[in-house]
Amino acid sequence: MTTIAAEPFPFEMDRRAVALLVIDMQRDFIEPGGFGASLGNDVAPLQAIVPTVAALLQAFRRARLPIVHTRECHRPDLSDCPPSKRDRGQPSLRIGDPGPMGRLLVAGEPGAQIVPALAPRPGEPVIDKPGKGAFTRTPLEVVLADAEVRQLVIAGVTTEVCVQTTMREANDRGFDCLLVEDATESYFPEFKRATLEMIRAQGAIVGWTATAAQVMEAIDG
């Protein structure tokens, strides 16, 4: 076991059973002209965490520890995108509409790809998910079981939506989860703060949080 100085108390990382899960670091959420921007959001805060996520990736690769990436995207015919999701609100563009990076949140389009700085390497699974949670209607649980993973270090966006949903799904499935505080971000700073507090409240009821430096020190040590 390797101890990470996490909150609300130290996280005992088992190097034989831990993986890095990088959630939805894709162009549609992080770059101008994508789905996130179509909702009226400033994407700059999400862009700012890319170097930190890249450093985490490098640390896990150096240690030869498993890495899994996710992307939120839909089939080209949108058969896996319920109208209640697509038609909600008043965005400038909706899921499936053509934008500067192709059709928004559609698998295979440029905008659905992970940003180049964080591109998966051969052997790193990429899970396409049609919803917020990475376990729902995906093979993620099987992928993790095959790798004998029981602990997840989690990075990605957005903190209060896909990241938190996935952490809660993982928690219900018996995984110990640690969210990397400076490798996750929201379009709304107050939402990120509240999510971090919720996750680690009541004795890590959903999981732990720590900084990227704390995680990498433990991995590289």
Is residue 87 part of the annotated active site? The answer reads no
Place of tokens 């004795």: 203
Is residue 192 part of the annotated active site? The answer reads no
Contact 36, 28 (CB under 8 A): yes
Radius of gyration of the chain (CA): 17
Annotated active-site residue in 129, 132, 177, 192: 129
Annotated active-site residue in 24, 28, 128, 176: 24
Contact 155, 50 (CB under 8 A): no
CA dihedral 123, 50, 61, 19 (to 10 degrees): -70
Annotated active-site residue in 162, 177, 182, 192: 162
CA distance 198 to 41: 23
Is residue 73 part of the annotated active site? The answer reads no
What's 160's DSSP letter? I
Q: Are β-strands 2-4 and 11-13 bridged in parallel, bridged antiparallel, or unpaired?
A: antiparallel
For the record, the structure tokens of 148 come out as 């004998």
Catalytic residues: 24, 129, 162
